[in-house]
Structure 1
Amino acid sequence: MTHNVKFLLVDDLEENLLALDALLAREGLELHKARSGEDALELMLGNEYALALLDVQMPGMDGFELAEIMRANERSRHIPIIFLTAGSGDATRKFRGYEAGAVDFIQKPIEADILRSKSKVFFDLYVQRQQITSQRDELATLTAALQAADQQKNRFLGVLAHELRNPLAVLLAGLNFLERPREGLDLATVRESMRRHLSHMTRLVDDLLDINRIEHGKISLRKEMVLLSDILPPALEIAGPAIEASGHELQVEVPDDPVTLNVDPARFIQIIGNIVSNAARYTPNGGKITVVVSTQGDKVSITVADNGVGIPAEQQSIIFEMFEQSDNGRGFIGDGLGIGLALVKQLVELHGGEIHLVKSAPGEGSTFEVQLPLVQ
């Protein structure tokens, strides 16, 4: 972002300052005026100047003394200085000025064209420097983003390889068992294991395809008016196997009055099923998961709470980001690719809703809330 360029005008006579203001005024330029060296130094404390025009002959601190102080100060030492002088232009005087840090001298009475031409050089140089600085900062930001994306990609590929290798190994082993049956082998168990791992791989691929469709604006919701009581049970059934396998208690609370939503039923089931499945996955055996539905004004709130391992505070800000998983240090690292909550967030927002992590603490569990528009 480019800010206005600032020039500092220093002269003890108000009429001289007004004349300089009139000569130099242009769009994008701020002219700050000081009647003494002390006033000028105070202005430099809070401003960055592209050029300082200093009158040489001022009572008290003259222009040369002011320039020497400027050059000794880290903040002001790089400000270009042009001296304005009504005195003689002898070599000794000019030498002292250049020694004090001047880049030029302009004799009074000032020729307007010369002043404008010389000041324009410093105006343009400052603008170019601002642009270069801005481009440098943008490049640094882009470089950091690319490095982060590369790290994220590598992390994702590692997780993907792990997630696909295990089911593939099971499928290959199962196929070998089916081709060369062994005595006492329960083929029904082999088929069920193959089916379960194939379903896991299919879910991973489906999630990846959904993320890609959303990011490219190619996913469309097939909304319809539905009763929450009709689509909540199928959503909970998705997490049923994980809940049953871990011996969790599932408690569901819904309002007595009918709750009508305008949603894509399949995507709603995906949203709630994913959150409840996460709760089951991150809760040690024998835990409790609670799903509570309530209406709040023109919204319906669906909270999913568990008494599981919880999410460390430093990780709570990234749980809705792509390929991020919570590692609570207690051995519970979620399976999958770390895209579940990121996908849920995008699906909820496509419905005009919001999802929040209400609270979470290690060893105490987590509570998520989904808010969706309510059909009155």
Structure 2
Amino acid sequence: MIGEIQVDRPILVVDDNNSTRYSTVRILRAAGVQVLEAVTGQEGIALAAGCDAVVLDVNLPDLDGFEVCRRLREGTVNTRVPVIHLTAQRMRDEDKIRGLESGADAYLTHPVDPGVLVATINALRRARTAEYSEQISRARFEAMFRTAPVGIAMVAADGAIVESNAELHRMLGTDVGAPEVAGLIGELLAQCGQGAALGTYAPVLTMPAGSARPLHLDCRVAALDEGARLLLVVDVTHRRQLEEAQERLLASEREARRQAEEASRTKDSFLALLSHELRNPLAPISSAARLLQMAPNDAAMVGRAGAVITRQVGHMKELVDDLMDVSRVTRGLVELERGPVALQSVLEAAVEQVRPLIDTRGHALQVEVPDAPVVVDGDRTRLVQVIANLLNNAAKYTPPGGQLRLTLAEKAGGAEVVVADSGVGMPIALLPQVFDLFTQAERTSDRAQGGLGVGLALVRSLVLLHGGRVTAASPGEGLGSTFTVSLPLSAHATGAAVVDTPPRADRRPLSVLLVDDNIDGAATLADVLRLAGHRVQLAHDAASALDASQAPDATFDVFVLDIGLPGMTGHELAETLKAMPRWRAAAYIALTGYGQPGDRETSRAAGFDRHLVKPVRESELLATLDAVTRPAA
């Protein structure tokens, strides 16, 4: 009696000899399995994909058993199916070697003992099942190894790193094979006994570029076979940083409490000072008010009293403005009164303010400005304050008889103001902090010039509020300093600021309908066009523009349309206007913040002659008007 064969799918018998194939099939069916039969090698290859084992004759009419086995192993489906060579001929050792090399798993000869055949198939199936299970287990382990949120390293008994995962690479910031990482893992293992828990360990890992990065690690080590160890590492740096931040917060709260107590002690003296400063103008105001009540019909008295009140109210306003200015700058809440400003006038006013100090110290001041106005959108008073502050510092920190230079230029689409001196300079190490509050106190060892060092911090705050930046440079102590203020140019300028685009003699006055929902921007552009000799009518939405276009006396040569209009886009408005016979020949200019090729193509398809990207320079708009219209004959 033979045992059963433990398979789930059929067993394939490939044999062109009917009698031996019959006997083999009979044995297998007696063992309780389904059997498929093939008489050629090609037929066997086609059927093998759905089988759990193949019993293969060596001598076949088309392909020998060695070739069939080789093709099965090189295929793409069921490549590890057990293959048993079963032949009626005596097998030489050379043939057995050849069969093994082609991928066969066992060799039997006819007549075969049924028990041997069944046992051989079962043994091969068990081996394949174990092999598959191992592959699945290995694949699962590798997937976990690759994707685990902890660092993992397998270390051999001699300390060599056998394998490590990507999380450990990321955690340590370099290749695990690097010497410093191998040393770190060795240190971790040395401090953490086999099977023990190291707990939190805080090494400082030196990176390849030479910088140091602190790590806080939770580590565990598990023993493996043959002295190998498994190292598990969790990066708790962020958690530790949060703990340290909490500690700093507590310290900060203690410091804040101390400062609050100190502020409470100084509050009374501050209020006393403020009260004194306010009483100074209030006293004459009160007296002037009483005079007005006593002599309301005395014109001379009323005039003098009014002048006193006006003057003292002005003093109070300056006092309150100064107090508010200090508060706003400290809290970053300075409000700018923006408008188009020609920087030439800013530099002129700043020089006028600082000129007494410059002359007193005997400095030579060189000023270089371009002829064409350089216009920015800003607060003129604050900009004068910025430049005057820098000039004042240059004059103050330059020994008598020094050289000062003040220049203005347009660079890279922006305005650049440079204040340079031949003064005491600064240590290079101070440059990164030069704009911080109170840094001036460290600028010179003798503190000869005094001051609290708030000037440059105020300069930086005001420049940042204008969307610009300020930088400091110095070759070193005694070698002078250079401060550079960079500001964005104004997209629009008022007529008072723009003087660099005079009307050309050959420019034909045009009638322009300017449509833009930005009221201030439209108004300034309209002023520019009017100064250039054009007639401009404004509209702030598509409906108003259509109403203007349908007026009986409307004679527009050019439509300048913002694309992002409410209700109807500039593209739709242009298409609507061009559909009217009277405006078909007019020129159309698009204004938009989008300048990609696709945006320009969309404007072209809507009928625009030009596509200008905001912020548009006034000279560019005027040149575009000239380009899209013909001069008068």
Structure 2 residue corresponding to 1:138, chosen from 245, 261, 269: 245
2:194–2:221 contact (8 Å) kept in structure 1: yes
Kindly indicate whether residue 371 of structure 2 is the aligned counterpart of residue 256 of structure 1. Answer: yes
The answer for unaligned runs of 5 or more in structure 2 is 1-133, 170-182, 197-219, 271-276, 278-318, 491-616, 618-633
The structure, 1 or 2, with the larger RCO (C-alpha pairs under 8 Å, 6+ apart) is: 1
- Corresponding residue SS for 2:483: strand
Instruction: Return closer, same or farther for 1:147/1:256 CA change in 2, 3 Å cut-off.
Output: farther
Q: Which amino acid aligns with 1:248?
A: H
Deviations 1:32-60 (A, max 9, x none): 556x545754658x9969xxxxxxxxxxx
Query: Alpha carbon RMSD of aligned pairs, Å?
Result: 4.8
1:282–1:332 contact (8 Å) kept in structure 2: no
Q: Residue in 2 aligned with 1:220?
A: 335
Q: Residue in 2 aligned with 1:240?
A: 355
Instruction: Return closer, same or farther for 1:135/1:38 CA change in 2, 3 Å cut-off.
Output: same
Deviations 1:126-184 (A, max 9, x none): 57x55542334434666898899999x8xxx9xx9xxx9xxxxxx9xxxxxxxxxxxxx
Kindly indicate whether residue 189 of structure 2 is the aligned counterpart of residue 76 of structure 1. Answer: yes
- Give the stretch that moved more between structures: 137-146 or 293-302: 137-146
Instruction: Return closer, same or farther for 1:80/1:237 CA change in 2, 3 Å cut-off.
Output: farther
TM-superposed deviation, 1:275: 0.5
Distance in 2 between the 1:321 and 1:150 partners? 24
Distance in 2 between the 1:327 and 1:202 partners? 31
Instruction: Return closer, same or farther for 1:237/1:355 CA change in 2, 3 Å cut-off.
Output: same
Instruction: Return closer, same or farther for 1:369/1:206 CA change in 2, 3 Å cut-off.
Output: farther
Q: Residue in 2 aligned with 1:209?
A: 327
1:326–1:334 contact (8 Å) kept in structure 2: no
Deviations 1:286-331 (A, max 9, x none): 2221101111131111111111111122222211111211645463
Distance in 2 between the 1:351 and 1:73 partners? 55
Distance in 2 between the 1:361 and 1:338 partners? 19
Q: Residue in 1 aligned with 2:345?
A: 230
Kindly indicate whether residue 406 of structure 2 is the aligned counterpart of residue 291 of structure 1. Answer: yes
Kindly indicate whether residue 343 of structure 2 is the aligned counterpart of residue 343 of structure 1. Answer: no
Instruction: Return closer, same or farther for 1:206/1:254 CA change in 2, 3 Å cut-off.
Output: farther
Q: Which amino acid aligns with 1:250?
A: L
1:284–1:308 contact (8 Å) kept in structure 2: yes
Distance in 2 between the 1:204 and 1:337 partners? 17
Distance in 1 between the 2:431 and 2:405 partners? 20
Instruction: Return closer, same or farther for 1:221/1:16 CA change in 2, 3 Å cut-off.
Output: same
Normalising by structure 1, we get a TM-score of 0.55
Distance in 2 between the 1:78 and 1:253 partners? 68
2:369–2:407 contact (8 Å) kept in structure 1: yes
Distance in 1 between the 2:442 and 2:224 partners? 68
Which has the higher Rg, Structure 1 or Structure 2? 2
- Equivalent pairs, count: 266
1:300-311 aligned within 5 A: 300-311=415-426
Distance in 2 between the 1:150 and 1:239 partners? 42
Normalising by structure 2, we get a TM-score of 0.35
Distance in 2 between the 1:105 and 1:330 partners? 63
Q: Residue in 2 aligned with 1:275?
A: 390
Distance in 2 between the 1:289 and 1:150 partners? 46
TM-superposed deviation, 1:255: 0.7
Q: Which amino acid aligns with 1:277?
A: N
Deviations 1:66-120 (A, max 9, x none): xxxx9x953213557559xxxxxxxxxxxxxxxxxx988899xxxxxxxxxxx9x
1:354–1:371 contact (8 Å) kept in structure 2: yes
2:153–2:161 contact (8 Å) kept in structure 1: no
1:129-208 aligned within 5 A: 130=237, 132-139=239-246, 208=326
TM-superposed deviation, 1:278: 0.6
1:315–1:326 contact (8 Å) kept in structure 2: no
Instruction: Return closer, same or farther for 1:104/1:335 CA change in 2, 3 Å cut-off.
Output: closer
Identity of aligned residues (%): 28
